[in-house]
């Protein structure tokens, strides 16, 4: 799934802006033919969640309807035309000019439809029905009635069209996909490029790699739909967290001496592997400092906001983080592109949070998780910043979990054998799935949900547990979540729960445990920023306050502590050249 580009052969139009919108609380839209358009509506911003855009219906989860009128660009004749949605949560159905073009389940990952035979030159009507209602059959699943809305996960179930909707045109025959894998032999970078095309007998693939004063070119005749080409870059500039060097790769499809299609992407030459109890980037130990985080901001919810992405990267750089996990769903393509450019390491996670393994839904959940891992790897496989795939966050205990995750692990490994794979485990869950993981990721809140207020006791328990886990599995461990809810401006002496002082003490002592264990390869604080949740007795104002920054990105005391520990006191295994 190549992200749309603009060049001589490819074009796109961003349909972001104000659309027409209406709620459908009685679910009557299909019966009343709203698929062909509806008159009673209000304006809504796209992309953005619908929940906080209006003064009413904040907790309405769907169904709801969007529509937009647009014109086909006049110069798109003899092109394949595709409509692409970056993320719609959760169920979506799409009609163009009254004709159904497709359905998709699951938020946070892109989907697209070929509308070449349905689009007209003038007055196209695009209608999208979105249903975000919670269900045990969905992934993530609905929870028990202990909070409102009734989620089985600790973040708000924002609904709507969350990322850009792009109308794009490509040649009717040409390039379809590119896969890049890199390796290193001493100072030489090996770049293996797999190019998928239409059946184009007699055509050629031209490759051009440019960067750092070098240019490599390669031409291959197209004999099959997939061409495999290897480039060797002598004295290559490798990609890493300190110097995220990127080369420019351009693929041209040539037929009858004319270029008929072209695509460019950034390539970072790097390797990532697990060896013993270390995580190696380009053959050298790397220690992860960073966060779990959320795509979450006031009013726009989970909607794509370029300025917030820039702000979050700026804060992570200021604090000295080198990594983050896309908890608990894939983030936008733009977020991933900037991770490549800025040198951040990413644990890339599918939206499988809170899996229950209920016998009535386990088959459906496996089907959806398989779909998600396919969509995620297809989307993010070429990012040098992506160092690990995460198959789930905090699944429940079950004797069936081993078989379930073995199937997902095998699928991910078949799609991409170049990255480690993990599953993020929570407290109190049997670690059957750890037997297949390459890295153990654990979320631990001793001193908060358990042993509340007693950080010293909590750290003793944590220390013994991680020693036991390592002795059993002999695999590197990341503390992928740890933190304490902290009300901004609330202070106490001695430190008490919910105070900024307690958050500082909690994080500092957890990090001391991490640094004392040679097999621990990373510390990810939960969370970068406060974020919206369902309402419940543990969530004042429907907010999780574990951020070291507030929801509007103001620092708490803990942010300054982390800046001291990460920016000015190098971790034990800090990556360096």
Tokens 């998928």 belong to residue: 196
Tokens 């510390």 belong to residue: 523
**162 vs 335: CA distance, rounded Å:** 14
273 is catalytic: no
**538 vs 521: CA distance, rounded Å:** 31
Residue 327: count of CB within 10 angstroms of its CB: 25
Tokens at residue 53, please?
């855009």
Q: Which residues pair with 406 in a beta bridge?
A: none
136 is catalytic: no
List the catalytic residue out of 112, 481, 500, 505: 481
Which helix (H) or strand (E) element contains residue 406?
A: helix 401-415
CA-based nearest residue to 424, from 347, 373, 480, 369: 480
Reduced to 3 DSSP states, what percent helix, strand and coil does the chain have, rounded to the nearest 5?
20, 35, 45
HSE, CB side, 13 Å, CA atoms: give it for residue 480: 26
37: left (phi over 0), alpha (psi -120 to 50) or beta: left
Could you tell me which residues come within 8 angstroms of residue 297 by beta carbon, excluding any fewer than 6 positions away? 303, 305, 308, 551
**423 vs 113: CA distance, rounded Å:** 32
**14 vs 512: CA distance, rounded Å:** 48
Q: In what order do the strands lie in the sheet with 226-233?
A: 175-185, 188-197, 226-233
**118 vs 300: CA distance, rounded Å:** 32
Instruction: Find the DSSP H helices in 288-360.
Output: 306-319, 333-342
Tokens at residue 133, please?
């209602």
107: left (phi over 0), alpha (psi -120 to 50) or beta: beta
List the catalytic residue out of 295, 333, 375, 394: 394
Could you tell me which residues come within 8 angstroms of residue 195 by beta carbon, excluding any fewer than 6 positions away? 175, 177, 178, 205, 226, 227, 228, 229, 251
**342 vs 336: CA distance, rounded Å:** 10
Active site residues: 394, 481
């Amino acid at each position: 799934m190549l992200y749309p580009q603009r060049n001589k052969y490819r074009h796109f139009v961003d349909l972001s802006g104000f659309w027409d919108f209406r709620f459908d609380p009685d679910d009557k839209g299909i019966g009343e033919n709203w698929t062909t358009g509806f008159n009673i509506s209000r304006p809504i911003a796209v992309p953005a969640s619908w929940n906080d855009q209006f003064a009413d219906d904040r907790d309405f989860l769907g169904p709801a309807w969007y529509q937009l009128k647009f014109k086909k660009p006049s110069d798109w004749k003899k092109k394949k035309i595709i409509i692409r949605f970056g993320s719609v949560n959760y169920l979506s159905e799409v009609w163009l000019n009254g004709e159904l073009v497709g359905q998709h389940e699951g938020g946070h990952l892109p989907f697209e439809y070929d509308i070449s035979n349905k689009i007209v030159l003038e007055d196209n009507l695009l209608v999208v029905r979105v249903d975000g209602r919670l269900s045990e059959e969905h992934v993530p699943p609905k929870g028990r009635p202990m909070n409102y809305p009734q989620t089985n996960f600790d973040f708000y179930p924002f609904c709507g069209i969350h990322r850009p909707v792009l109308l794009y045109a490509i040649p009717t025959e040409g390039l379809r996909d590119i896969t890049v894998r890199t390796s290193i032999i001493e100072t030489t970078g090996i770049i293996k490029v797999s190019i998928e095309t239409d059946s184009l007998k007699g055509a050629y693939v031209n490759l051009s790699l440019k960067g750092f004063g070098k240019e490599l070119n390669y031409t291959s005749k197209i004999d099959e739909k997939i061409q495999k080409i290897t480039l060797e870059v002598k004295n290559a500039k490798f990609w890493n967290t300190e110097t995220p060097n990127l080369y420019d790769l351009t693929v041209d499809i040539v037929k009858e001496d004319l270029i008929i299609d072209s695509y460019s992407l950034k390539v970072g030459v790097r390797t990532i592997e697990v060896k013993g109890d270390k995580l190696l980037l380009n053959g050298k130990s790397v220690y992860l400092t960073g966060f779990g985080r959320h795509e979450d901001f006031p009013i726009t919810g989970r909607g794509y906001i370029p300025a917030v992405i820039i702000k979050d990267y700026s804060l992570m750089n200021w604090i000295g983080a080198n990594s983050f996990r896309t908890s608990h769903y894939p983030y936008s393509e733009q977020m991933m592109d900037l991770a490549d450019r800025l040198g951040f390491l990413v644990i890339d996670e599918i939206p499988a949070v809170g899996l229950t393994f209920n016998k009535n839904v386990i088959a459906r959940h496996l089907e959806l998780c398989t779909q998600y891992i396919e969509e995620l790897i297809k989307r993010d496989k070429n990012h040098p910043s992506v160092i690990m795939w995460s198959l789930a966050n905090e699944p429940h205990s079950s004797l069936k979990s081993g078989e379930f995750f073995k199937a997902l692990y095998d699928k991910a490994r078949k799609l991409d054998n170049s990255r480690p794979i993990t599953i993020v485990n929570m407290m109190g869950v049997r670690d059957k799935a750890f037997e297949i993981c390459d890295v153990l990721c654990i979320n631990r809140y001793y001193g908060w949900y358990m042993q509340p207020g007693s950080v010293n006791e909590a750290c003793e328990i944590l220390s013994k547990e991680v020693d036991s886990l390592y002795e059993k599995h002999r695999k590197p461990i990341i503390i992928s979540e740890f933190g304490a809810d902290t009300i901004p401006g609330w202070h106490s002496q001695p430190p008490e729960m919910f105070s900024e002082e307690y958050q500082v003490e909690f994080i500092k002592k957890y990090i001391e445990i991490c640094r004392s264990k040679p097999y621990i390869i990373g510390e990810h604080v939960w969370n970068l920023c406060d974020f919206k949740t369902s309402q419940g007795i543990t969530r004042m104002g429907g907010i999780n306050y574990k951020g070291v920054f507030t929801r509007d990105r103001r620092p708490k005391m803990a942010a300054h502590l982390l800046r001291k520990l990460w920016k000015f006191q190098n971790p034990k295994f800090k990556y360096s050249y």
